[in-house]
Structure 1
Amino acid sequence: MAKVTTCLWFDRDAEAAVRFYVSVVPDSAIGHVQRAPEAWPGGAAGDVILINFRLGGQSFQALNGGTPAEYGTAASISVACADQAEVDRLWAALTADGGTEIMCGWLRDRWGIPWQIVPEVLPRLLADPDPDVAARAFAAMRDMVKLDAAAIGRAAAG
């Protein structure tokens, strides 16, 4: 059976990014760090080439590709947050030092990686059997940048 892992491309700072990610997302850890055995087009002997890590229990890789990558929004790292405190903590950490807010719970961290920071209440309300509840929750979310779980809940309740 194939093992699928998302690989994130960095210019030269994969190690700094991974150390930051595992420090802010629970159930995360750095696994194997592959270093260049000799000089290579992207750097010198001993430089980090590839890092295997877990982020929220999911497998990822970070590659120092030597050329900056442009990330669209077709793929992102989505984090389901138990409460507003977790949304706020992750949002602040990921937008710090050059990260940018987008909309509807989306942001880009300082390396340009897109993230979705979503309170767990949102998907539940969007799937509510009452279409009016779902529509009100959706409308509230659509007008937000960082998602506010309480405001979405109030809107859904009418």
Structure 2
Amino acid sequence: MKNKITPCLWFDGDAEEAAEFYVSLVPDSRIESKFRSPTDTHSGPSDSVLTVDFTLAGQRYVGLNGGPMFKFSEAVSFQIHCDNQEEVDRVWDALLDGGQPMACGWIKDRWGLTWQIVPTRLLELINDPDSAKAKRAMESMMTMMKIDIAELEKTANGEKA
């Protein structure tokens, strides 16, 4: 079943490549379908892939080969919640290939789409009922590019870095 609302991501001719990459990042992800344009458009000739419908972790998306007019910005980002450091490292390294690291676990991929790589442990620590512990965890996260769970836990617990 399709979602009532489906985010559409605008690409400059490489929506198919991007979608194939994105579905490799997280479980429950797949390419659903590809639509080839029956006519020439400003983004490509007749029979070229115009849209790619894909699912990431159960959420449907459309990748549109719309042309060079519009670019992604940090105003929209996608969070990937990771269960452990191994998953953080795997996803981060994949997105870093051609991408650009940013602060606090954010990373821009090679298409310019911004992602937040969020360990579930980070959320637990910054929501800890001990406000001093939560503050230390948040302050530690603010100094990081890629989130280091072990370092967060040390700092949250008051251990010196």
Question: What's the TM-score, normalizing by structure 2?
Answer: 0.93
The DSSP-based 3-state class of the residue aligned with 2:90 is helix
Q: Which residue of 1 aligns with 2:77?
A: 76
The 5-angstrom pairing of residues 1-158 of structure 1 reads 3-96=4-97, 98-158=98-158
- What CA distance in whole angstroms lies between the structure 2 residues aligned with 1:46 and 1:152? 50
% same residue = 46
Query: What root-mean-square deviation, in Å, do the aligned CA atoms of Structure 1 and Structure 2 show?
Result: 1.1
5+ residue gaps in structure 2? none
Deviation at 1:111, TM superposition (A): 0.4
Bigger mean CA deviation after superposition, 30-39 or 134-143 = 30-39
Q: Is the 8 A contact 1:10 1:68 kept in 2?
A: no
Bigger mean CA deviation after superposition, 107-116 or 67-76 = 67-76
Bigger mean CA deviation after superposition, 104-113 or 51-60 = 51-60
Q: Given residue 129 of structure 1, which amino acid in structure 2 is its aligned partner?
A: P
Q: Given residue 90 of structure 1, which amino acid in structure 2 is its aligned partner?
A: V
The DSSP-based 3-state class of the residue aligned with 1:24 is coil
Q: Given residue 115 of structure 2, which amino acid in structure 1 is its aligned partner?
A: W
Bigger mean CA deviation after superposition, 24-33 or 134-143 = 24-33
Q: Given residue 45 of structure 1, which amino acid in structure 2 is its aligned partner?
A: S
Hey, which bits of structure 1, 4+ residues long, moved more than 3 A? none
Q: Is the 8 A contact 2:42 2:66 kept in 1?
A: no
- What CA distance in whole angstroms lies between the structure 2 residues aligned with 1:10 and 1:95? 19
Deviation at 1:68, TM superposition (A): 4.9
Deviation at 1:36, TM superposition (A): 0.4
Q: Is the 8 A contact 2:43 2:66 kept in 1?
A: yes
Q: Given residue 71 of structure 2, which amino acid in structure 1 is its aligned partner?
A: E
Q: Given residue 56 of structure 1, which amino acid in structure 2 is its aligned partner?
A: A
The DSSP-based 3-state class of the residue aligned with 2:24 is helix
- What CA distance in whole angstroms lies between the structure 1 residues aligned with 2:131 and 2:75? 27
